[in-house]
Amino acid sequence: MGKNIFLTIAKAFVFFSALFLVSFFTSTKVYGSEEVATIPKSTNYVYGLTSPDEQDFTAIYAYDINGYDQIAKYFKKITTKAGKIAVIKNANNLGVREDGFYFKENTGIKMYHVDWDGIIQETWDDPSLTGSARSGTFLTTGKYVTTSDQLSNKKNELYIYDINYHMLEKKVPLTNKTDTPLPVSKLNSMGDIVGDADDYLYATISEAKLSSTTVLKIDSNNGDIVDILPVPGLQHSPAIAFMEDGRLLLADKNDTGAIVDFSTGLVTYTDKIGDKLPAMGGTQSHVRDFASLNFPSFNVELFAIKQGPETAVYGEEYEYTIKVSNTGNIMSLHNTLIDSLSNYLEYVPNSTLLNGNKVADVNGTSQMFLGGMKIESPGGVDGAITKDKPAVITFKVKVKDTGDTTVGIDIPNIAYVANTSTNLVSTNKVMTKVPGIPISEYILNLYIKQEVLNSRLDLVSPSIGFADVKNNLDQYQVTIPSYLSNTNQTFKLVKIKAADMNDPYNVSIKIPEFYSYAGYQLTATKSNHLASDRMKTPIESINLSKGLDRWLTVYIEPKLFDDAPPFYSWDYKNNDFGKIGIE
């Protein structure tokens, strides 16, 4: 996927500095060393170069590593073509390619080419390498790379060297392009270096007083330091190399090894892959440098799948599920989920979950609708989707009342994942069908009652009342309860069908004798109707476009008399006379 993919690692390192996961592995196995006639050539091996600090020979080691174990260790003493054992002081700057090994004296100018049989094929002095330090590797172009030695050179540079023509092509100054300061003021302790398939370099630096190593990711084309990865617990600018599966192996002089897995964000420490190796006669042989034939190519393979119901109804709540997976060999970083809702939907507040954990809303809205919500794999690096550990997001929505629910609607939804690793990744389109409601299903839920204002002791207050409800479909005559005003009594529910959403309902009341109409109160939600809030106009028409539920209180009051009201029957208590012509 090109060099843009490797910007991922840059961002990864920023995250790793604070949140890189750590595990520990201690092997119970013990491995010895075996001298061989020919060094095995394979991407299975990581190669090391020893220095004769405590022995009288220099050797190339081959480590066969499986998982976090060192399966075997082979070595071959370096000899001249005449068969004499070579003793090369401060041998370092190891690089390997198909025709063998190349290295130089640490701060010197002498270069060596050693074949797979451990025989020195060529040596040469090149003054242009003056000031280069103890790191060496090859780019995919076949060019050899080493770094400057701050102690003598006073500059931080890459040396790009043509091995075939014994010629220094250029020096490339190093520049920190990250927001993270380097842990050392000078790179005078720069150690080993290794490259990937896109010719980004990874170099180790540390100082003796620091109990930590830092890996710099460097663009070999311009010297830009694009990322910084701290690896605590390793000292003395450890050796570094890529293994066949793309993991990064580091090991220091204290027999401490670490393996960085970019696909999971995991650093695993092991005491069985170190560079403090048993040598002939029981002495110690320190590996100065690692190298391998591996140039891993890192790729993010991000997929996002969205699920939702095929059908829903008006007013229903339902849930969307989004699963974001990475099947690549490197973490996807800085991942944010972006979504938007159809005009037919509204978000259900506080319903968003990430990997089963609630994600706080912002002013009642999910962050995914406000520019993006950070997502990550469960238990992983902040904002990162790691290999085979998908992030799972769920949230709820509600289908809005559109005003005319006789019409069915289709609700589409697509979400997107933005990150620094790939282009914008979209989910599949989820289509939810909301069927229209048939006319016969348009029903008004009318909660209605009558209340008496200014009741009189000499006039019986009715306990029931009568109402007519008309629309274009039919006419209904209903009996309703009657109470004294402001007593917060219960409403009676009356269900009435309508022709359509805009079919108006008109309500009228049969007024008992000796009483007059005194107003009404109509609300779309249930509440305590107070007479002081009533409207003193005729009862307004009810339209279902504003909702299917209404609460209506109708007020009556005694008429004014000059004296006592005329003789009346106790049947007025039940408003029996009002039933004439209604039953």
pLDDT on residue 582: 33
Beta strands, E only, 67-180: 69-77, 91-97, 100-105, 110-114, 120-125, 132-138, 144-148, 157-162, 167-173, 175-176
Burial group, residue 66, by CB count within 10 angstroms (0-12, 13-18, 19+): exposed
Q: Which CATH number fits domain 3-291: 2.120.10, 3.40.50, 1.10.3470, 1.20.1420?
A: 2.120.10
Given a contact cutoff of 8 angstroms between Cβ atoms, the answer to whether 254 and 235 are in contact is: yes
Q: What pLDDT, on the 0 to 100 scale, is given for residue 563?
A: 58
CA distance 434 to 308: 13
Distance of CA 230 to the CA centre of its chain: 23
Q: Under 8 Å CB-to-CB from 118, ≥6 apart: which residues? A: 38, 39, 59, 60, 76, 77, 78, 79
pLDDT score for 322: 98
The CA angle 227-229-231, to the nearest 5 degrees, is 170
Q: Which two tokens stand for residue 459?
A: 């006039």
Q: How high is the mean pLDDT in each 10-residue block of the chain (583 residues)? A: 32 37 40 78 90 69 76 84 87 92 84 96 90 83 84 69 94 87 60 91 75 84 87 77 91 77 82 46 55 92 95 93 93 92 94 97 95 92 88 96 79 93 89 80 85 88 90 84 93 81 83 91 92 93 80 92 56 49 34
Task: Report domain 302-434's class.
Answer: mainly beta
In the chain, where the domains are located = 3-291, 302-434, 440-579
> In DSSP terms, which residues pair with 398 in a beta bridge?
317, 346
3-state helix, strand, coil in the chain (%, to 5): 10, 45, 45
- Kindly report, residue by residue over 186-217, the tens digit of the pLDDT: 544 577 899 999 999 998 887 655 667 888 88
Specify whether the CB–CB gap between 93 and 135 falls below 8 A. yes
Indicate the CATH number for domain 440-579: 2.60.40
Q: Could you check whether 302-434 and 440-579 share the same CATH topology?
A: yes
> Which helix H or strand E contains 556, and what residues bound it?
strand 549-558
Counts of helices then strands in the chain (DSSP H, E):
2, 43
Q: Which residues are CB-contacts of 541 (< 8 A; sequence separation ≥ 6)? A: 504, 505, 506
Return the pLDDT at 81.
95
Please enumerate in sequence order all residues whose Cβ is within 8 A of that of 207, keeping only pairs 6 or more positions apart, or say none: 183, 184, 189
CB atoms within 10 A of CB 299: 19
Cα 86 to its chain centre, rounded Å, is: 54
Spell out the residues 6+ positions from residue 441 whose beta carbon is closer than 8 angstroms to its own: none
